[in-house]
Amino acid sequence: MTGRIGLDRVGAVAVITVDNTRIKNALTQQMARDLGAVCEEIDADASIGCTVIQGAGGTFCSGADTSTWAETYGDDPLSDEAYADTDEMYGSFVRFGELKAPTIAAVRGAAVGAGLNLALAADLRVAADDARLLAGFLAAGIHPGGGFFTLVRRLAGREAAATLGLFSQEVSGREAKGFGLVGVCVPDEDTEKTALEIAQHVARDPLVARRAKRSFNLETQSTPLPWAAALEVERGVQLWTQARRLRHQREQA
């Protein structure tokens, strides 16, 4: 069995590396399980204030490892095992999306199918200008999965969901930035460095980063909150962090 999920620390930043370079970082079931496990590890460490996910060798991720499908499910593609494996694969992305601290996907090369889903599960995408974002499901003869339409629509609207999911158009990192699916666009060789710099910035105070992500989720994962309601949600936490900052300043004076 090839492929691994790497976990490294750079100061207060956790760096997850999807590493299965022979097949463009396609994800095996074991890698999906390992992704879930490293997320548990990251959440348990309160000193981590941001997580970057990246691919090894200049590719982000080519989706699920389809090379084993025929052998594993050939006799019964609707088996309990097939259902469970799909749940496990996408479940690990949901787990990644639920990380308590903010997350950044550093996208170089291809992000295809479930690999694009994984990039979309992050809070921010830093992509290479020439990164290749492609749903790829229809080309592989399967229906989009893992909440693909929901994720794209939430991030970039209906037109983007249609372009990528319904019409399977491949878009570059630069094009995706144009319609809001990608937050930051840089030359290929700067992608991971830029993602790490942004991560280090947000991770300077892990506790504040984690609390900010909770409010961010409340706002962005539900139907839009009326502005006044958002003020209600954020007021208490913001006051608390202001008080905490003042306390630190007093302690240092």
Ligand X SMILES: C/C=C/C(=O)SCCNC(=O)CCNC(=O)[C@H](O)C(C)(C)COP(=O)(O)OP(=O)(O)OC[C@H]1O[C@@H](n2cnc3c(N)ncnc32)[C@H](O)[C@@H]1OP(=O)(O)O
Site of interaction with ligand X (CB under 6 A):
23-24, 26, 62-67, 86, 89, 110, 112-114, 136-137, 140, 142, 145
Nearest CA-CA partner of 2 in 22, 10, 12:
22
SS3 state at 184? strand
Q: Which is nearer to ligand X, 66 or 215 (CB)?
A: 66
Instruction: Confirm if 208 and 241 have CB atoms less than 8 A apart.
Output: yes
Q: How many CB atoms within 10 Å of residue 44?
A: 9
Q: Which is nearer to ligand X, 100 or 125 (CB)?
A: 125
Q: Which is nearer to ligand X, 34 or 65 (CB)?
A: 65
3-state secondary structure 143-179: CCCCCHHHHHHHHHCHHHHHHHHHCCCCEEHHHHHHC
- Rounded to the nearest whole angstrom, what is the least distance from the CB of residue 63 to ligand X in the complex? 3
Q: Which is nearer to ligand X, 102 or 146 (CB)?
A: 146
Cα separation, 21 vs 24, whole angstroms? 5
CA 110 to chain CA mean position, Å: 14
- Rounded to the nearest whole angstrom, what is the least distance from the CB of residue 133 to ligand X in the complex? 11
Cα separation, 241 vs 23, whole angstroms? 45
- Rounded to the nearest whole angstrom, what is the least distance from the CB of residue 136 to ligand X in the complex? 5
Q: Which is nearer to ligand X, 102 or 109 (CB)?
A: 109
Q: Which is nearer to ligand X, 84 or 142 (CB)?
A: 142
Sorted by sequence, the CB contacts under 8 Å of residue 176 that are 6+ apart come out as: 125, 127, 131, 133, 156, 182, 185
- Rounded to the nearest whole angstrom, what is the least distance from the CB of residue 125 to ligand X in the complex? 17
- Rounded to the nearest whole angstrom, what is the least distance from the CB of residue 84 to ligand X in the complex? 12
- Rounded to the nearest whole angstrom, what is the least distance from the CB of residue 30 to ligand X in the complex? 14
Instruction: For residue 47, give the DSSP letter.
Output: T
